[in-house]
């Protein structure tokens, strides 16, 4: 079946603009994660959604970052007033419920803030 | 907190050479350990995992053994191929938390 998809694949924006990144998880996966992959920082956890539970937002770096998941499926990560340090590849992953199940990753969105 | 340290890359090897990528960790609680691989232009994929001490994860000729006494999970392969060229990430998760803590990644380049 279809894997995790993300859009856009690339986004170039100017400093101060808002951006929205989209993630379509694998159908039936109740858990959805956002990670950020940047030079020198590796892969960092941002936020985690599980079903109807309150999301784990502990990895969001500032209040400029927010995410929502509508209808338990598609998720949007929003970055307001982008800064150059926000430039990174933003990865989305989804999984079935359970602590040891595999997380399936999307191809990522490469964000460049000029 | 949790953290993962893996060897700096890039690692450049000739085809059929032996590969070791070191990974050590610190964790609160009893972690499960993972290796993920990112091939050029593709998303992260789970390569192998181990959930308790002395477990050996294996896949595609790669192996890693969960060593609790040395808090390590080194990735090995006896004979690498050009197609193994990728970035390899060591990761862990603890308890009921589902988020993964990753190392910074090690780029492997295999040449003919």
CA distance B8 to chain A (A): 11
Task: Report the run of H or E that residue B69 belongs to, with start and end.
Answer: none
A-chain residues within 8 Å CB-CB of B32?
99-100
pLDDT level of residue A2 (50, 70, 90 thresholds): confident
Cross-chain Cβ contact B32/A99 below 8 Å = yes
Calpha distance A92→A52 (Å, rounded): 18
CA distances B7 to A72, B18, B56, B67, Å, are 38, 16, 20, 17
H or E element, residue A47: strand A42-50
Q: What whole-number distance in Å separates Cα of residue B101 and Cα of residue B71?
A: 15
Question: Chain A contacts of B45, Cβ < 8 Å?
Answer: 105
A113 CB near a chain B CB, below 8 Å? no
pLDDT in tens, B92-109: 988 766 789 999 999 999
B90: tokens are 């060591």
pLDDT value at B46 more than 80:
yes
Report yes or no: B92 and B32 within 8 Å, Cβ to Cβ.
yes
B33 pLDDT band, cuts 50/70/90, is very high
- Based on its alpha-carbon atoms, the radius of gyration of chain B, rounded to whole angstroms, reads 13
A51 vs chain B: nearest CA distance in angstroms? 13
Asked if A3 and A106 touch (Cβ cutoff 8 Å), the reply is yes
Q: What is the pLDDT of residue A39?
A: 79
pLDDT score of B99: 86
A42–B105 CB contact, under 8 Å:
yes
Please state, as a whole number, how many other Cβ atoms lie within 10 Å of the Cβ of residue A33. Answer: 26
Q: Return d(Cα B13, Cα B82) in angstroms, integer.
A: 9
Pairing of strands A88-95, B106-111: unpaired
How much is the mean pLDDT over chain A? 92
Report the C-alpha dihedral over residues A41, A43, A49, A51, rounded to 10 degrees: -170
Distance CA A4, CA A74 (A): 10
At residue B17, does pLDDT exceed 60? yes
Q: Read off the pLDDT of residues A30-56 as tens digits, 9 standing for 90 and up.
A: 899 999 998 767 899 999 998 888 899
pLDDT digits (tens, 9 = 90+) for A63-112: 999 999 988 799 999 999 999 999 999 999 999 877 677 889 999 999 99
């Amino acid at each position: 079946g279809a894997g995790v998809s993300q859009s856009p694949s690339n986004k170039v924006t100017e400093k101060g603009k808002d951006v929205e990144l989209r993630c379509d998880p694998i159908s039936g996966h109740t858990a959805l994660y956002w990670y950020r992959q940047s030079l020198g920082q590796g892969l960092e956890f941002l936020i985690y959604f599980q079903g109807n539970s309150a999301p784990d937002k502990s990895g969001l770096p500032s209040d400029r970052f927010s995410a929502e998941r509508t209808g338990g499926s598609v998720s949007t990560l929003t970055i307001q007033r982008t800064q150059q340090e926000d430039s990174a590849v933003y990865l989305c992953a989804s999984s079935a419920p359970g602590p040891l199940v595999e997380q399936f990753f999307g191809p990522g969105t490469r964000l460049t803030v000029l | 907190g949790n953290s993962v340290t893996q060897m700096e890359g890039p690692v450049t090897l000739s085809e059929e050479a032996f590969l070791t990528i070191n990974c050590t960790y610190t964790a609160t609680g009893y972690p499960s350990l993972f290796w993920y691989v990112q091939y050029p232009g593709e998303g992260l994929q789970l390569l192998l995992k181990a959930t308790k001490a002395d477990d050996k994860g294996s896949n595609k000729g790669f192996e890693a053994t969960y060593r609790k006494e040395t808090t390590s999970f080194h990735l090995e392969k006896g004979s690498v191929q050009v197609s193994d060229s990728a970035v390899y990430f060591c990761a862990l998760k603890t308890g009921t938390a589902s988020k993964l803590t990753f190392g910074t990644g090690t780029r492997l380049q295999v040449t003919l």
